[in-house]
Each structure stands twice: as C-alpha cells, then as structure tokens.
Amino acid sequence: MTKLSVNINKIATLRNSRGGNVPDLLRVAADCERFGAQGITVHPRPDERHIRYQDVFDLKKQVSTEFNIEGNPTEGRFREVVLTVKPEQVTLVPDALGALTSNAGWDTIRHREKLKELVRMYKAEGIRVSIFVDAVPEMVEAAAETGTDRVELYTESYASGFAESPEKAIAPFIIAAEAAQKAGLGLNAGHDLSLENLEYFHKNIPGLLEVSIGHALISDALYYGLENTIQMYLRKLN
C-alpha cells in the first residue's frame, strides 16, 4: 500500500498571513491523521515564511503517524532541528534560498560525497533518509551510492505534462522507479500530484511507498472539506 503523507505548509502560510493561531496547525495535523493520512510532512525554510522551526518541535510531540521533515540540510537551522526532533524520515531537498517552491532534485553525482556525509549522520540517529531527485536513472543510481534508504521522485514534470499525454509524461518516471528497485532503494514521490493525476501515477509506478502532497490537497479541501478530500486521495491510492 502506498502511504499518503499530507504536507501542511499551506496551513502555516494561511496562519502566518494574519498572525495569531488561526488556523491551528497542530489541530489540522491531528485532524489529517484522524481522517486517514498515514503521515505528516513539513518543509521549514530559513525565512520561516510558512512552517516555523517551533512548529516542528510542537508537531513532534503529537504526530502519531510518520513525521517527515524535508528541506535543504545546508540552510538555516535545518540540520540542528532534525537531529533534535529525530523524525521517522528526513527528505533532503536542494532548495535555493528564496526559492518559491522546490524546483529541482539533487545532482547526486556532483554532490555524492556531501550527501554521503549527511546520510551517514542522519542514519546514525535512527532517522530514515530520502533524497529528492529528478526522474533520471543516473541520479537514482548515484543516490544509492550515498547509502540513502529512499529517493523521492520530483514529479512536477509529470504533473505539467499529464493533460497532454499521460503516457509520455510518466515514461521517465517508470524508468527511474525501475532503477530505484534495481538499486535496492525505497521509492517516494511528490510535487504537484493531485486528484487528477495521482491514480494514473500510482498504477504505473512500481514499488511506490509514499506520496507527499500539500498544495493540491489543501486547495481541494476548500471545496470538498478536509476529511472528504483526504479520503478522496486515499481512494486514488487503493
């Protein structure tokens, strides 16, 4: 079964836009779990424009499913926070400072040695490591050489090409997924997956363990309600 991890960054964005604590991030996270989500994902950035570092500490106290912290391990307090909180999973993402959202995977060939050190450090603390990569077999294979447990495929290109040609859009992801299986890596995926394209992706990608979805899911919840939306996404994965 492929797990659904809900990224709650957008809830934090809404809260921060007015100050105070509405909506209550902790309550939303608890509700996501209660409604069936099998994980909670956060992506703190150094400017704390959505998830704040304190949110990460607060969430650790209550998240009862899988807690996944993603972000750039070389920026801000990320490394310190992850090593203190010790989530079930850390996802390493090469975000540039000021980036609006994640827009590329790691060049795991160029950064192999740095990633090896990071993977070793997090795994020594009992944290499962996933490396964010583009759907390129060579990047998946080089990721395996770092000792990482999993890779997360960056799915923006699939999502953007899905309407025109699902078969063409998913083709490189099938190849990358097969490379991950051959290398003995677990496989996650995320970025712009939605109710429109998730089921096709799930049916065609072998060995998919987890998807992390935030923007589309929270947007859909404005129309369908949070509980119903989570159930709709879960049905796409079953």
| Percent residues over pLDDT 90 in the chain | 94
Spatial CB neighbours of 214, under 8 Å, sequence gap ≥ 6: 6, 7, 8, 9, 10, 41
Q: Which two tokens stand for residue 58?
A: 């607060």
Whether residue 76 is predicted with pLDDT greater than 80 in this model: the reply is no
* pLDDT number for residue 102: 63
pLDDT for position 98: 61
191 catalytic? Reply is: yes
Under the banding of pLDDT at 50, 70 and 90, the label for residue 75 is confident
Angstrom distance (rounded) from CA 161 to CA 8: 25
Q: Which is catalytic among the residues 66, 70, 152, 156?
A: 70
C-alpha to C-alpha distance for 24 and 144, rounded to whole angstroms: 39
Of the residues 111, 152, 191, 210, only one is catalytic, namely: 191
Please report, rounded to a whole number, the percentage of residues in the chain having pLDDT higher than 70. 97
Q: Give the position of tokens 């060049």.
A: 107
- Domain range enclosing 113: 3-236
Three-class SS of residue 182? helix
The answer, as to whether pTM is greater than 0.85, is yes
Of these residues, 43, 50, 111, 210, which one is catalytic?
43
Domain at 130, CATH number: 3.20.20.70
Q: Tell whether the model's pLDDT for residue 169 goes beyond 70.
A: yes
50 is catalytic: no
Q: What tokens appear for 51 in the block? A: 């998830």
Q: What is the pLDDT of residues 152-167, one digit of tens each?
A: 999 999 999 999 999 9
pLDDT (tens digit per residue) in 80-107:
999 999 999 999 999 766 665 666 899 9
What is the domain count for the chain? 1
pLDDT in tens, 171-221: 999 999 999 999 999 999 999 999 999 999 999 999 999 999 999 999 999
Q: What is the reported pLDDT for 101?
A: 61
